């Protein structure tokens, strides 16, 4: 069963930063990749921004591995589809009626670089930030507790439900259910598989609700938290800087694209 989150525990300076500082940094990379006009600038964000940060967080190898794993399906589709179907003059390769064009390669490279930075920023943030700490930081800034509850509980129970699905699949197979064969047959098999999964989950919802209510879940008012976050005025200033840079990037981009 796969780990429910990407978080990797390390004792690094990056890990020790306040979750919102890391979120602001990820937001800056995201906006930079979306608004920078040039392929090399976008790749630069990855090489001189994300990669050294990952090294600082002592997660360089897993970060590069995850990024590579996530980007290759996009890269493959982009280079094939844009390479063949983007209109252009500079033909590199002809296969039958199809022509592979330089214009398409450039377009594909630009989108691949952008997606690489986006996925990289998101995965790096999640590799070095505990989801519960991020949620705690957001609650302190006004996120409703219920939203944090939903996200954190989902992350916890996803592996359990994946296990449950596997158990139901095995149980039906051991009763002789044929899971191979024609598509129409396999489609019909969905009902005896999904049915028990959903039914059994709905039936124990009441218990979950009672367990929460017994802990005053819906009570109004302030809560104290067992966990506490470490923040510094330096980091607060850094976050404002990131927000200012994000606004600046968007303004420059708007000036460029608006007629």
Partner 1 sequence: MDRIRREFTTLTLVMIPVAIAINVAVGQLVLALKIPLYLDSIGTVLVGVLVGPWAGALTGLLANFVWTFTGLFPEAIAWAGVAAIIGALAGAFRVGDWMKVWWKSLVAGLITGIIAAILSAPIAAYVFGGVTGAGTDAIVAMFRAAGLDMLGANMAQGVVSDPIDKAVTFLIIWAILLALPERIKARFSSE
Which residue's CB is nearer to partner 1, number 201 or number 225?
A: 201
Q: Binding pattern to partner 1, positions 194-233, x when CB under 8 A? A: xx-xxx-xxx-xx-xx--xx---xx---------------
Q: Applying CB under 8 A, does 2 fall inside the site for partner 1? A: yes
Site for partner 1 in 105-124 (CB under 8 A): 107-108, 110-112, 114-115, 118-119, 122-123
To partner 1, the closest distance from the beta carbon of 237 in angstroms equals: 28
Q: Half-sphere exposure of 75 toward its Cβ, with a 13 Å CA cutoff? A: 12
To partner 1, the closest distance from the beta carbon of 259 in angstroms equals: 18
R_g over Cα of the chain: 24
State the CB neighbour count (10 A cutoff) for residue 17.
21
Q: Applying CB under 8 A, does 4 fall inside the site for partner 1? A: yes
Q: Applying CB under 8 A, does 138 fall inside the site for partner 1? A: no
Tell which one of 93, 98, 236, 248 touches partner 1 (CB under 8 A).
Answer: 98
To partner 1, the closest distance from the beta carbon of 245 in angstroms equals: 21
Q: Applying CB under 8 A, does 128 fall inside the site for partner 1? A: no
Q: Applying CB under 8 A, does 193 fall inside the site for partner 1? A: yes
Taking Cα atoms as reference points, which of 169, 176, 170 lies closest to residue 193? 169
- Whether residue 29 contacts residue 45, with contact meaning beta carbons closer than 8 Å, is answered with yes
Tell which one of 48, 68, 80, 251 touches partner 1 (CB under 8 A).
Answer: 80
Site for partner 1 in 8-37 (CB under 8 A): none
Q: Applying CB under 8 A, does 189 fall inside the site for partner 1? A: yes
Q: Applying CB under 8 A, does 143 fall inside the site for partner 1? A: no
Q: Which stretch binds partner 1 (CB under 8 A): 161-169, 222-230, 238-246, 248-256?
A: 161-169
Which residue's CB is nearer to partner 1, number 115 or number 139?
A: 115
């Amino acid at each position: 069963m796969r780990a429910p989150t990407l978080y990797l525990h390390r004792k690094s300076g990056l890990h020790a930063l306040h979750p919102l500082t890391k979120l602001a940094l990820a937001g800056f990379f995201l906006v930079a990749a979306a608004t920078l006009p040039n392929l090399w600038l976008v790749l630069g964000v990855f090489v001189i921004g994300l990669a050294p940060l990952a090294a600082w967080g002592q997660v360089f190898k897993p970060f590069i591995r995850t990024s590579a794993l996530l980007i290759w399906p996009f890269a493959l589709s982009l280079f094939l589809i844009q390479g063949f179907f983007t209109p252009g003059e500079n033909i590199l390769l002809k296969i039958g009626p199809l022509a592979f064009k330089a214009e398409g390669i450039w377009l594909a490279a630009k989108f691949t670089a952008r997606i690489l930075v986006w996925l990289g920023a998101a995965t790096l943030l999640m590799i070095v930030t505990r989801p519960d700490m991020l949620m705690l930081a957001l609650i302190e800034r006004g996120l409703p507790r219920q939203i944090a509850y939903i996200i954190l509980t989902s992350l916890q129970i996803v592996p359990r439900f994946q296990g449950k699905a596997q158990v139901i699949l095995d149980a039906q197979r051991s009763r002789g259910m044929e899971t191979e064969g024609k598509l129409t047959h396999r489609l019909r098999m969905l009902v005896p598989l999904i049915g028990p999964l959903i039914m059994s989950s709905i039936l124990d919802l009441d218990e979950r609700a009672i367990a929460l209510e017994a802990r005053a879940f819906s009570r109004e008012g302030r809560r104290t938290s067992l966990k506490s976050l470490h923040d510094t005025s330096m980091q607060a200033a850094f976050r404002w800087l990131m927000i200012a840079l994000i606004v600046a990037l968007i303004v420059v981009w708007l000036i460029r694209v608006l007629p």
